[in-house]
């Protein structure tokens, strides 16, 4: 099983959406995703919950969690979400960065655009690795 970690600082927006899209679209027998943050926030952003609910993905009950050594130990790939110098690095993991705007506090129109861009990137990742 291949595991991808989507990580950002607060694990309350981009990384939550990316992991949710990944798990909804991937062949679950080949790959799975988790999300985490270096300094997890208190909750998933309400605008993210709403945007994902609109496409049939319910993130209710999801809570930001920390990126730990245990979580990283079983992963093959770390994708950071445009957090610049604050992005985590995990020695030994292949890493990619998706330069994405933080949806926190943005208009619903902009959050939807970010959500859809993340979906497109997830589909490309799944196809490139044969995980769909």
DSSP reduced 3-state for 12: coil
pLDDT by residue (tens digit) across 55-69?
999 999 999 999 988
Helices (H), the chain: 14-25, 46-54, 69-73, 108-129
In this predicted structure, the answer to whether residue 18 has a pLDDT above a threshold of 80 is: yes
Mean pLDDT across the stretch 4-30?
96
Q: What fold characterizes domain 2-129? A: Rossmann fold (3.40.50)
In this predicted structure, the answer to whether residue 92 has a pLDDT above a threshold of 90 is: no
Q: pTM of the full predicted structure?
A: 0.94
Q: Are 48 and 111 in contact (CB under 8 A)?
A: yes
Domain boundaries, the chain: 2-129
Catalytic sites, residue numbers: 8, 83, 87
């Amino acid at each position: 099983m291949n595991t991808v970690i989507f990580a950002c600082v607060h694990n309350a927006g981009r990384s939550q959406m990316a992991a949710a899209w990944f798990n909804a679209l991937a062949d679950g027998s080949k790959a799975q995703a988790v999300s985490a943050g270096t300094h997890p926030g208190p909750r998933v952003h309400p605008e993210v919950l709403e945007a994902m609910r609109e496409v049939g993905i319910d993130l209710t009950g999801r809570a930001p969690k920390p990126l730990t050594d245990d979580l990283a130990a079983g992963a093959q790939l770390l994708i950071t979400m445009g957090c610049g110098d604050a992005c985590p690095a995990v020695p030994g993991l292949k890493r990619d960065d998706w330069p994405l705007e933080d949806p926190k506090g943005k208009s619903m129109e902009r959050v939807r655009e970010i959500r859809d861009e993340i979906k497109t990137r997830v589909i490309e990742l799944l196809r490139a690795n044969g995980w769909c």
